[in-house]
């Protein structure tokens, strides 16, 4: 960690202050009064330094004995955390504060620790919360700071759109959400284990939803690295298997799964997004599972849990109901085109393509050309039953 490039130490009538300038003023960032010890620590941060090194140098300068060392360490940690909260430190790779975890989620077999004001976290997470202790291993730690993001470090632009800008430097990804209700940016470590989320907007319903989807993107990055991939699809449970119904916007996913619910009273699992895992065991067999997610579009259908995957059916509106079979490469392409796991880089795109290739030999993949009538369910159900009976 080191000093922010947007702040200067200046004495006003003998009193030390850290004051913004340049981009710091443009971002309306705050100044802060500090004491002489804080000024000494600030000067140490002119070069990259660690907390342990700063404590050791302060202990030497102020001649702290063994009994005073814990108190000194605590004071310095509180001071550094105050600077972090005000974005007066630059830290790459990311450094999360020592604040306690406020919310623990279990999604797709992974544990996420969320720290920050809980009114910024969506109530949609409530079904996915789990018990935890601070000694637990967390696959991803996310710290939300309700402040403006720091100025951007240099990085390669990987993606630019009205919805998302992705930059990459040697330490992390910088995710910028231009269309969010308020300033919203994330710093995501390359291994996906740490996220600093700067959310400076008011925690109203719209901005909380923006934060919710920013967390989704960071989670899906980690999931992809662990071999789990997200498919844009609605899902239902039939004969103890999950069936994913996918297609382009307006293809009728909600309408079709609603027919299943009406006719057969099957449970609907998720209305918009499903997480697929394909694990290879020691005997070379594949176990394919679908995991529930809190992100479900506007459907409000979201169920925690995991189930075996039966198949993926792509929907297409038609004047009559019929099944179209895919060739292996057509099925792989259809799946890959509906995955929403990150594809910011060539490597990520190949991961998605390989995931689609690994799925196809083990599940039913077909297209249902269908009407909005009940007969559409009978048409695809017969094919699903046939596939299950053969297995």
Q: How far is CA 303 from the centre of its chain?
A: 18
Q: How far apart are CA 72 and CA 54, in angstroms?
A: 11
230 band by pLDDT with thresholds 50, 70 and 90: very high
Average pLDDT over residues 157-168: 95
How high is the pLDDT of residue 154? 67
> DSSP code of 344?
S
Contact 145, 196 (CB under 8 A): yes
How high is the pLDDT of residue 27? 78
The pTM for the full model equals 0.83
Buried b (16+ CB within 10 A) or exposed e, 362-391: ebbbbbbbbbeeeebbebbbebbeeeeeee
Q: Which residues contact 236 (CB under 8 A, 6 or more apart)?
A: 242, 243, 245, 257, 260, 261, 266, 267, 268, 269
Express each pLDDT in 337-387 by its tens digit.
999 999 999 999 999 999 999 999 999 999 999 999 999 999 999 999 999
Q: How far apart are CA 208 and CA 200, in angstroms?
A: 11
Kindly report the three-state secondary structure assignment for every residue of 359-380. HHHHCEEEEEEECCCCHHHHHH
Q: Tell me if residue 147 falls in helix, strand or coil.
A: coil
Average pLDDT over residues 3-27: 90
How high is the pLDDT of residue 281? 53
How high is the pLDDT of residue 97? 77
């Amino acid at each position: 960690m080191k000093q922010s490039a947007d702040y200067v130490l200046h004495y006003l009538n003998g009193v030390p202050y850290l004051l913004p300038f340049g981009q710091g003023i443009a971002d309306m960032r705050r100044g802060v009064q500090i004491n002489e010890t804080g000024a000494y620590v600030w000067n140490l941060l002119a070069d990259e330094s660690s907390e342990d090194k700063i404590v050791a140098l302060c202990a030497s300068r102020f001649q702290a004995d063994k009994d005073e060392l814990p108190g000194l360490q605590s004071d310095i940690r509180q001071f550094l955390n105050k600077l972090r909260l005000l974005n007066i430190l630059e830290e790459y790779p990311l450094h999360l504060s020592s604040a306690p975890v406020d919310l623990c989620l279990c999604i797709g077999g992974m544990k996420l620790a969320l720290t920050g004001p809980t009114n910024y976290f969506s109530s949609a997470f409530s079904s996915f919360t789990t018990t935890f202790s601070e000694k637990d291993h967390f696959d991803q730690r996310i710290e939300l700071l309700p402040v403006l993001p720091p100025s951007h470090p240099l990085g390669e632009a990987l993606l630019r759109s009205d919805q998302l800008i992705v930059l990459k430097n040697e330490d992390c990804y910088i995710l910028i959400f231009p269309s969010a209700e308020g300033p919203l940016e994330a710093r995501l470590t390359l291994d996906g284990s740490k996220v600093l989320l700067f959310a400076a907007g008011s925690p109203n319903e719209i901005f909380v939803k923006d934060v919710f989807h920013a967390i989704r993107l960071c989670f899906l990055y980690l999931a992809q690295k662990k071999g789990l991939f997200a498919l844009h699809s609605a899902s239902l449970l039939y004969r103890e298997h999950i069936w994913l119904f996918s297609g382009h916007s307006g293809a009728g996913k909600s309408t079709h799964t609603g027919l299943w619910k009406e006719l057969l009273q099957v449970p609907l699992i998720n209305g918009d997004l499903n997480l697929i895992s394909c694990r290879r065991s020691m005997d070379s067999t594949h176990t394919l599972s679908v995991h529930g997610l809190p992100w479900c579009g506007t459907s409000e259908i979201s169920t925690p849990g995991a189930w075996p995957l039966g198949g993926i059916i792509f929907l297409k509106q038609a004047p009559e109901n019929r099944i179209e079979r895919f060739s292996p490469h057509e099925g792989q392409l259809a799946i890959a085109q509906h995955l929403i796991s990150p594809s910011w880089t060539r490597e990520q795109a190949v991961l998605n393509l390989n995931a689609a290739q690994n799925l196809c030999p083990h599940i039913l993949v077909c297209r249902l050309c269908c009407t909005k009538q009940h007969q559409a369910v009978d048409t695809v159900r017969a094919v699903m039953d046939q596939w299950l009976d053969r297995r």
